[in-house]
Chains A and B, each alone.
Chain A
Amino acid sequence: IAGITQAPTSQILAAGRRMTLRCTQDMRHNAMYWYRQDLGLGLRLIHYSNTAGTTGKGEVPDGYSVSRANTDDFPLTLASAVPSQTSVYFCASSDSHTDTQYFGPGTRLTVL
């Protein structure tokens, strides 16, 4: 792989179900991010990680959790999905938290 990948590409999920969105990068970037993008609201930061082993909360963290066990992977988990979590989710990475961010192709999630 080259760059940053996300899986699945899209998913329809019943409310109350647990879901993990996967993100993997092969650029050896230290920092990784999860955003959601909703029409008219732009990108909103959910969680971030400045380096492996550390995570932090962004602007809209409620209902989501992340882990950063190694440099390459940064999964996002919805413990109990709700319809308001219907969105397009983008994972991104950068060398450091002040550098250019590179984005994955996104996951389109629908919660019914």
Chain B
Amino acid sequence: GQNIDQPTEMTATEGAIVQINCTYQTSGFNGLFWYQQHAGEAPTFLSYNVLDGLEEKGRFSSFLSRSKGYSYLLLKELQMKDSASYLCAVIDSNYQLIWGAGTKLIIKP
């Protein structure tokens, strides 16, 4: 079966750095997305990786290793507004998007 694993919940301190991991076992791979979802709101796009390596976008970076079936989202200089769930999703060989259950990130002052 297809599976995407993320930690259920993480806690970090304002101003710090946090890394949210995502491991996947899917039938093929055609790209990986990270989305942010604030409580009671819709998911919004953060990043897309299709090749190995690090993609940096301001305070957020996303890393991909296809050989390891692994990605992480790195959030720097954490702000209270970063408290949200972070969803990892993989495009499989049938071009279907497989979603992880999400990681709830709690930021403490």
**Are chains A and B native binding partners rather than an unrelated pairing?**
yes
Residues of A within 8 A of B (CB): 40-45, 90, 97-98, 100-106
Known A-B contacts A42-B87, A98-B31; A104 and B102 likewise in contact (beta carbons under 8 Å): no
A90–B91 CB distance below 8 A = no
Chain B residues in 8 Å Cβ range of A44: 99
Expressed in whole angstroms, the Cα–Cα distance for A36 and B2 within the complex equals 18
A98–B87 CB distance below 8 A = no
Expressed in whole angstroms, the Cα–Cα distance for A103 and B43 within the complex equals 6
Known A-B contacts A43-B43, A105-B41; A100 and B48 likewise in contact (beta carbons under 8 Å): yes
Chain B residues in 8 Å Cβ range of A98: 30-31, 91, 95
Known A-B contacts A90-B43, A100-B48, A105-B42; A41 and B91 likewise in contact (beta carbons under 8 Å): no
B33–A42 CB distance below 8 A = no
Give, as a whole number of angstroms, the nearest-CB distance from A93 to chain B.
Answer: 12
Give, as a whole number of angstroms, the nearest-CB distance from A49 to chain B.
Answer: 14
Give, as a whole number of angstroms, the nearest-CB distance from B85 to chain A.
Answer: 9
Chain A residues in 8 Å Cβ range of B41: 105-106
Give, as a whole number of angstroms, the nearest-CB distance from B22 to chain A.
Answer: 12
Expressed in whole angstroms, the Cα–Cα distance for A54 and B2 within the complex equals 26
Give, as a whole number of angstroms, the nearest-CB distance from B86 to chain A.
Answer: 12
B99–A43 CB distance below 8 A = yes
**A41 touches which of B44, B48, B89, B101 (Cβ 8 Å):** B101
Give, as a whole number of angstroms, the nearest-CB distance from A103 to chain B.
Answer: 4
Chain B residues in 8 Å Cβ range of A104: 42
Q: A41-B101, A42-B101, A44-B99 are in contact. List 10 more A-B contacts (CB 8 A).
A: A40-B8, A42-B99, A42-B100, A42-B102, A43-B87, A90-B43, A97-B95, A100-B48, A101-B45, A104-B42
Chain B residues in 8 Å Cβ range of A103: 42-44
**CB nearest to A50 among chain B residues:** B95
- CB contacts under 8 Å to A, within B88-109, are 89, 91, 95-97, 99-102
Chain B residues in 8 Å Cβ range of A102: 45
Chain B residues in 8 Å Cβ range of A106: 41-42
